[in-house]
């Protein structure tokens, strides 16, 4: 019986070879802290039930896999009342079936010594309503060209990570089933304990992988949007008796850039056009003039020197 249990354990270990590769990276990710909250959206090829993201047909040679793209959006806006705008965003998110992840209200002091409010808020909304949510958030500002300070939307395709994790999870579950059967057939205490230890390790790994899959599924349903709200007065240029130093500095920098651009363009023109022209035209002329001078020096008769008479 002990030999049979040993052979069965070896078989189970062979099943675990392809599944254990993902555990170390996932544990290292957990050790470094909770994963950053992001949201995702899918581009489904056909309508699916809620939570159904990847369909693997084992009996067919072709697998139908939906793309799973994690998406983040962030905005920075200049608004008249940051606190009121934050409340509007909260109402919008909850009305869409989302929720507020975090919110923060703070104060900033401008150069005139005036304290102005500011706010940061992060919400999660259904992925299919992300574009609508961004439109409503940007509608809080009267002039999109000047009041939308920054906008960023990033995406990360995690389809491969999801399918790999799912495959490893299936392998671990198959190994768990085999270990349960082995433990039920064992009669000796040491055999039962050995199988139990292996089974405990397997179930811990299953929980880690299942948690990773749940994270992907949750991220597929909701998109995260982070918004920074600043008071418009806080970003106004400094004005002294109608004079705006910041604007003058900007104009001076623009003039400097234009001047440097003209100088660089002139140097490029000289290097590309004038230098080859000088080499092609000037070099032959120089060689001809040099040859003529050398020829004249060769043909010039040697000057005869008169004998020196010594007068006594």
| Judgement on whether residues 59 and 72 belong to the same structural domain of the protein | no
| Judgement on whether residues 231 and 260 belong to the same structural domain of the protein | no
| Judgement on whether residues 132 and 230 belong to the same structural domain of the protein | yes
Residue 270, pLDDT score:
78
Q: Which residues of 194-218 are buried (b: 16+ CB within 10 A; e: fewer)?
A: bbeebbeebeebbebbeebbebbbe
Give the pLDDT confidence of 262-278 residue by residue, as tens digits.
888 888 877 887 777 77
CB distance 32 to 120 below 8 Å: no
| Judgement on whether residues 150 and 209 belong to the same structural domain of the protein | no
| Judgement on whether residues 94 and 108 belong to the same structural domain of the protein | yes
Return the SS3 of 240: strand
Residue 55, pLDDT score:
41
pLDDT under 50: residue ranges of the chain: 3, 7, 14, 17-18, 22-62, 238, 240-242, 303-305, 312
The residue range of the domain holding 281 is 238-296
| Judgement on whether residues 119 and 138 belong to the same structural domain of the protein | yes
SS3 content of the chain, % helix, strand, coil (to 5): 55, 20, 20
Return the SS3 of 140: coil
Residue 56, pLDDT score:
42
- Cβ neighbours of residue 65 closer than 8 Å, sequence gap 6 or more: 54, 55, 56, 159, 163
Burial class (CB in 10 A: 0-12, 13-18, 19+), 237: exposed
Last residue of a domain, one of 167, 189, 218: 218
| Judgement on whether residues 175 and 209 belong to the same structural domain of the protein | yes
CB distance 206 to 20 below 8 Å: no
Distance (Å, rounded) from C-alpha 258 to C-alpha 148? 27
Phi, psi for residue 69 in degrees, rounded to 5: -115, 120
| Judgement on whether residues 143 and 231 belong to the same structural domain of the protein | yes
Residue 40, pLDDT score:
42
Residue 62, pLDDT score:
40
| Judgement on whether residues 267 and 126 belong to the same structural domain of the protein | no
Residue 53, pLDDT score:
43
Q: What's 144's domain CATH number?
A: 3.30.70
**Of 176, 163, 166, residue with least CA distance to 13:** 176
The helix/strand count (H/E) of the chain reads as 10, 8
Return the SS3 of 114: coil
Residue 90, pLDDT score:
95
CB distance 134 to 144 below 8 Å: no
Residue 45, pLDDT score:
38
Last residue of a domain, one of 206, 235, 264: 235
CB atoms inside a 10 Å sphere around CB 26: 17
**Structure tokens that stand for 221 in this block:** 């349903």
CB distance 66 to 159 below 8 Å: yes
Domain count, the chain: 3
| Judgement on whether residues 47 and 177 belong to the same structural domain of the protein | yes
Distance of CA 300 to CAs 189, 292, 293, 294, 303, Å? 121, 12, 11, 10, 9
């Amino acid at each position: 019986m002990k030999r049979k249990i040993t052979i069965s354990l070896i078989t189970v270990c062979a099943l675990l070879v392809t599944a254990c590769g993902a555990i170390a990276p996932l544990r290292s990710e957990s050790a470094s802290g909770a994963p950053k909250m992001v949201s995702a959206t899918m581009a489904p090829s056909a309508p699916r039930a809620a939570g159904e993201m990847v369909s693997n047909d084992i009996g067919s040679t072709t697998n139908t896999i939906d793309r799973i793209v994690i998406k983040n959006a962030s905005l920075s806006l200049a608004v008249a009342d940051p606190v009121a705008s934050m409340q509007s965003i909260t109402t919008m998110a909850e009305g869409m079936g989302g929720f507020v992840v975090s919110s923060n209200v703070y104060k900033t002091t401008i150069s005139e010594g005036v304290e102005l409010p500011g706010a940061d808020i992060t919400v999660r909304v259904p992925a299919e309503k992300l574009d609508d949510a961004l439109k409503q958030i940007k509608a809080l500002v009267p002039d999109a060209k000047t009041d939308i300070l920054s906008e960023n939307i990033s995406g990360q395709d995690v389809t491969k990570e999801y399918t790999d994790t799912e495959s490893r999870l299936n392998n671990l579950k198959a190994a768990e089933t085999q270990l349960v059967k082995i433990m039920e057939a064992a009669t000796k205490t040491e055999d039962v304990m050995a199988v139990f230890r292996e089974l405990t390790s397997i179930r811990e790994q299953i929980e880690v992988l299942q948690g990773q899959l749940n994270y992907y599924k949750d991220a597929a349903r909701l998109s995260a949007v982070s918004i920074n709200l600043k008071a418009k007065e806080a970003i106004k240029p400094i004005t002294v008796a109608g004079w705006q130093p910041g604007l003058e500095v900007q104009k001076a920098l623009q003039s400097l850039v234009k001047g440097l651009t003209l100088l660089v363009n002139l140097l490029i023109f000289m290097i590309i056009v004038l230098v080859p022209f000088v080499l092609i035209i000037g070099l032959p002329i120089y060689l001809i003039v040099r040859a003529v001078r050398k020829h004249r020096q060769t043909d010039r008769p040697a000057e005869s020197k008169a004998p020196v008479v010594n007068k006594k």
